[in-house]
């Protein structure tokens, strides 16, 4: 059953460019990119309970890093550029994560929100590097003898990277590290009492999350081909949060499903700019009120009602505070 589902999924993903029109290939690439960000954000927010409203900032850093690398060093193969973009973003994540250790909940949300704004302002002001408001055109990426010039070629690149990162994330969550992160989410004090190094694991979550988002940013630069600061505003961060809320906090599969849903929704509402946030807000509220745990838990209870299939609930905050 499980293997069959996986095989069908893989077949659909591989066969997609032959079955779908060109635009939908591009859309599928965007979904895969957003899924990487959603997984990264979920490792931080869903697993470790550290809210972030600044992931558009990380995405921007990864995107600009990859774009500038591709422009300055055209011979650099794509995997190296993506890896470097991820590492640069992870370094920024480390720089942000360490001071943020002192913050929790609300304060962390505000600090990351501010971080997102500062990144956009920085891009605007560093115009010798980023060309500011004029935007940056990203040349086609090179992989050995090939140039990734078509939507299909870029789609396969994105999907391969996404698959690797998904497998990595699933493995992370099943190891000692993943259990430590979950323990921190359930109760920081209990986790600490069990010998979990809070500071180290929280910083690790920040760094890994930033790395994922940075790699996704690099892919975003290659797929979209043009970067400007206004594509990374705070509403993009909200979109990412919406993906993991709707998909399910603390679920890798949920992140992917949430990314697919929100990206498709955004795309189909593109013609109704005025109503988009209205529908979006309604979905956020409804999923919080009626489907806490997201699609992942809702599916879990339908498919396997008897067993505790879904990830454990995030701690509820009762009367005592």
Partner 1 sequence: MTWAALVHVVISGLATGSIYALMAISLVIIYNATRTLNFAQGEMLMVSTFVGWTALQVLDVPLVGALLVAVVASALLGFVLERVVIRHAISATHFDVLIITLGLSLMLRSAAGVAWTHDEFPFPSFFGNRPLVVGPVRVAPVSLGIIGASLALMLALGALFRWTRLGRAMRAVAQNQRAARLMGISVERVYSSSWVIASVVGAVAGVLIAPVIFLSSKMGLVAINGFTAAVLGGFGSMPGAVLGGMLLGVLENLAPLYLPASIKHSVPFLTMITILIVRPGGVLGRVARRKV
Give the interface with partner 1 as residue ranges (CB under 8 A): 45, 49, 51, 99, 102-103, 105-107, 109-111, 113-115, 117-118, 121, 124-125, 189, 238, 241, 245, 274-278, 280-285, 288-289, 292, 314-321
Rounded CA separation 21/31 (Å): 15
Pairing of strands 141-143, 146-148: antiparallel
User: Minimum CB separation from partner 1 for residue 284, in Å?
Assistant: 3
Q: Which is nearer to partner 1, 154 or 185 (CB)?
A: 185
CB of 42 closer than 8 Å to CB of 250: yes
49: Cβ–Cβ under 8 A, 6 or more apart, which residues? 184, 185, 314, 315
CB of 44 closer than 8 Å to CB of 52: yes
Q: Which is nearer to partner 1, 126 or 170 (CB)?
A: 126
Q: Which is nearer to partner 1, 284 or 309 (CB)?
A: 284
Pairing of strands 141-143, 136-137: unpaired
User: Minimum CB separation from partner 1 for residue 266, in Å?
Assistant: 13
Q: Which is nearer to partner 1, 127 or 304 (CB)?
A: 127
Q: Which is nearer to partner 1, 32 or 61 (CB)?
A: 61
User: Minimum CB separation from partner 1 for residue 120, in Å?
Assistant: 9
Q: Which is nearer to partner 1, 103 or 309 (CB)?
A: 103
Q: 10 Å Cβ neighbour count for 171?
A: 11
User: Minimum CB separation from partner 1 for residue 244, in Å?
Assistant: 10
Dihedral sign of CA atoms 78, 74, 219, 168 in order: positive
Nearest residue to 38 (alpha-carbon basis) of 235, 238, 265: 238
User: Minimum CB separation from partner 1 for residue 72, in Å?
Assistant: 25
User: Minimum CB separation from partner 1 for residue 292, in Å?
Assistant: 6
């Amino acid at each position: 059953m499980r293997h069959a589902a996986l095989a069908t999924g893989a077949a659909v993903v591989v066969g997609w460019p032959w079955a779908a029109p060109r635009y939908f290939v591009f859309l599928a690439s965007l979904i895969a990119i957003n899924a990487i960000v959603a997984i990264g954000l979920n490792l931080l927010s869903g697993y470790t309970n550290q809210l972030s409203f600044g992931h558009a900032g990380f995405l921007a850093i990864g995107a600009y890093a990859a774009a500038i690398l591709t422009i300055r060093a055209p011979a650099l193969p794509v995997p190296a550029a993506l890896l470097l973009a991820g590492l640069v973003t992870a370094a920024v994540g480390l720089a942000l994560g360490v001071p943020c250790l002192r913050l929790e909940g609300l304060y962390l949300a505000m600090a990351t929100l501010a971080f997102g704004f500062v990144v956009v302002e920085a891009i605007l002001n560093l115009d010798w590097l980023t060309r500011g408001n004029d935007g940056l055109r990203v040349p086609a990426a090179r992989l050995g003898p090939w140039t990734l010039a078509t939507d299909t070629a870029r789609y396969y690149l994105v999907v391969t990277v996404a698959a690797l990162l998904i497998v990595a994330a699933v493995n992370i969550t099943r190891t000692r590290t993943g259990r430590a992160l979950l323990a921190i989410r359930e109760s920081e004090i209990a986790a600490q009492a069990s010998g979990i190094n809070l500071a180290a694991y929280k910083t690790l979550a920040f760094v890994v999350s930033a790395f994922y988002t940075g790699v996704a940013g690099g892919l975003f630069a290659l797929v979209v081909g043009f970067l400007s600061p206004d594509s990374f505003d705070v509403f993009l961060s909200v979109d990412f949060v919406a993906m993991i809320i709707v998909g399910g906090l603390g679920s890798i599969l949920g992140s992917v499903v949430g990314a697919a849903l929100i990206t498709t929704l955004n795309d189909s509402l593109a013609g109704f700019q005025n109503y988009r946030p209205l529908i979006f807000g309604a979905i956020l509220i409804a999923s919080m009120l009626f489907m806490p745990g997201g699609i992942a838990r809702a599916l879990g209870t339908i498919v396997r009602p008897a067993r505790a299939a879904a990830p454990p609930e995030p701690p509820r905050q009762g009367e005592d505070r």
